[in-house]
Structure 1
Amino acid sequence: MSKRTSATVANGAASKDDRQSSPPITDKQKVLLSTDAGHFSLIRALHLADLITELNGLCGILSLFSSMRYCLGDPTQHGNLWAALFFLPFGLFFDFLDGKVARWRKKSSMMGQELDSLADLISFGVSPAALAFAIGIRTPLDHLCLAFFVLCGLTRLARFNVTATSIPKDANGKAKYFEGTPIPTTLGLDALMGWWLSRGWIHDALPGGVWFSGTVLEVHPVVLLFMVHGCLMTSRTIHIPKP
């Protein structure tokens, strides 16, 4: 749900346009990123908003690691699953906050917009797919379906970077609508998995069970929710008005 803009904009989620009215990349950052400007030039080039975006990415990474730790441990101990779910709403918080800070400080950057997209892909694409794997959506066909979901998120972010400037704007320069569902709406899937976890509906108890068990087509039907959500993210006909 990035908020970075200049010639291109980063993601398509709710507060992305917070950075659309920001000025173009600063000369100082251009110098630091494109020339040999001494030690730690990359760190010195980051704006405060960029550092907040990094926290969004950190939340996604920690969620991913928590899912992995659960898979390596006792499947009856769910603490790491709850931790994986816990980090993701904080990713959304930082995703909103970085745009607000960018507007406040009147600073925007090409690097910032790229950070936004990459952080969102981790927090709202890869991490939910890893969590789905951790709770038991693990057949080979499940893997392909979850990969489709992640690739839809990746494609949505890339498309928004290219097309954001062509979306109609309001008087303040903000896009009037989202084209397709914003990628942070995958938090709805996270909430659903949290509900399943609270009821003990994981692994063999996943809702809908498993279809075609023992065959090459073995699949958990709940994975279709991820595929449908992926299609909604990449839709060009769905226009969601911005608040």
Structure 2
Amino acid sequence: MSQRKSATKINDEHRRKADALHQYEDTDGHFSLVRNFRLADLVTIMNGVCGSFSIFSSARYLLTNDPDYLWSAMAFPLAGLMFDFLDGKVDRWRKSSSMLGQELDSLADLISFGVAPALLAFVVGLRTYLDTVILTGFICCGLARLARFNATVALVPKSDGGKAKYFEGLPIPSSLALVGLLSYWAKEGWIVGQKGVPWGTVLLWGQEGGRGEVHYVSLIFGCWAAAMVSKTLRVPKI
């Protein structure tokens, strides 16, 4: 019986994708992509805009050492979360959704809640070779988690209202908790160039300052990455 329900969900998802493809096949001409945007899609893009501004603000901080840029870089992902919540509400208000919107949502989330937080961690001091390996893994796990969500969303049990009952693994916007932690460190001066990153580093091989050195707190990002791609961790959806 459960296999039959799963097959029905998959068939429904295939039909929905086919209908969405026809929408774009039937629209030709210049700016046809833009003309197919719904209001919720534009809201989703604003999430990506916030993530991009965070990245550029981080870069400007590295160039100028102006703390205003650092605080801006930490604030923009929070603004992105606002747009991330808002696009779903606009979808339900307009009673419309699209395959394009689903893909846009994942890509925008990757920028605002994957790349931007990882770069912020680098900015505050996680800059050793192994630190960057772990931060790269964090971004890639966020990417894999979003791809899995898009591919399997039809199989997740739904409530009477049609919403998924839970998330498989930590949702990528949860990385804002890490941004909050980095913000606290910045406030206390626990960043590179001031008091230094808390708990310091451990040397796994080689010489100090070499490729074998890693900050202890990088493990937080590593554990967060593992939690995002976990299949057994189920977070109830509110």
The answer to whether TM tops 0.5 is yes
Q: 2:136 aligns with which of 119, 134, 147?
A: 147
Q: Contact (CA 8 Å) 2:52, 2:116: kept in 1 or not?
A: yes
Which amino acid is the alignment partner of residue 216 of structure 1?
A: R
RMSD between aligned alpha carbons?
A: 2.0
TM-score when normalising by structure 2: 0.87
| Alpha-carbon displacement from aligned partner over 1:157-204 (angstroms, at most 9, x marks no partner) | 011111111111122221111111111000000000000000000016
2:167 aligned counterpart, secondary structure: strand
Tell me the alpha carbon deviations over residues 114-147 of structure 1, each in whole angstroms, 9 at most, x when there is no partner. Answer: 0000000000000000111111111111110000
Q: 1:135 aligns with which of 124, 136, 140?
A: 124
**CA-CA distance at 1:28 after TM superposition:** 9.2
Over 3 Å counting, the alpha-carbon distance change for 1:199 and 1:86 in structure 2 is: same
8 Å CA contact 1:64–1:84 kept in 2: the answer is yes
Q: Counterpart of 1:71?
A: 62
User: What are structure 1's unaligned runs of at least 5 residues?
Assistant: 1-5, 9-22
Deviates more, 1:43-52 or 1:199-208: 199-208
Query: Helix, strand or coil for the counterpart of 1:142?
Result: helix
CA contact (8 A) 1:176 1:241 kept: yes
Out of 150, 168, 175, the residue aligned to residue 186 of structure 1 is: 175
Query: In the alignment, residue 30 of structure 2 is paired with which amino acid?
Result: H
Equivalent residues of 2:44, 2:87 under 8 A apart: yes
TM-score (norm 1): 0.85
Are the structure 2 counterparts of residues 103 and 43 from structure 1 closer, same or farther at C-alpha, using a change threshold of 3 Å? Answer: same
Q: Once the 2 structures are TM-superposed, how far is the Cα of residue 24 of structure 1 from its aligned partner?
A: 4.9
Contact 1:92/1:184 (8 A) holds in 2: yes
The 5 Å alignment of 1:2-151 reads: 7=13, 24=16, 30-31=22-23, 33-35=24-26, 37-74=28-65, 77-151=66-140
Query: SS at 2:210's partner residue?
Result: coil
Q: Distance in 2 between matches of 1:57 and 1:224?
A: 27
Instruction: Report the equivalent of 1:202.
Output: 191
**Equivalent residue letter for 2:31:** F
What amino acid does structure 1 have at the position aligned with 2:216?
P
Higher helix proportion, which one? 2
SS at match of 1:211: strand
Partner of 1:240: 235
Whether the 8 Å contact between 1:179 and 1:236 is mirrored in structure 2 is: yes
Q: What is the DSSP-based 3-state SS (H/G/I as helix, E as strand, rest coil) of the residue aligned with 1:237?
A: coil
Q: Report the 3-state secondary structure (helix = DSSP H, G, I; strand = E; otherwise coil) of the residue aligned with 1:178.
A: strand
Q: Does structure 1 retain, via aligned residues, the 8 Å contact 2:50–2:112? A: yes
Select 1:231's aligned residue among 226, 235, 238.
226
State the structure with more CA Rg.
2
Q: What is the CA deviation profile of residues 42-73 of structure 1, one whole-angstrom value per residue up to 9, with x for unaligned ones?
A: 11110000000000000000000000111111
Pick closer, same or farther for the CA change 1:27–1:167 going to 2, 3 Å.
closer
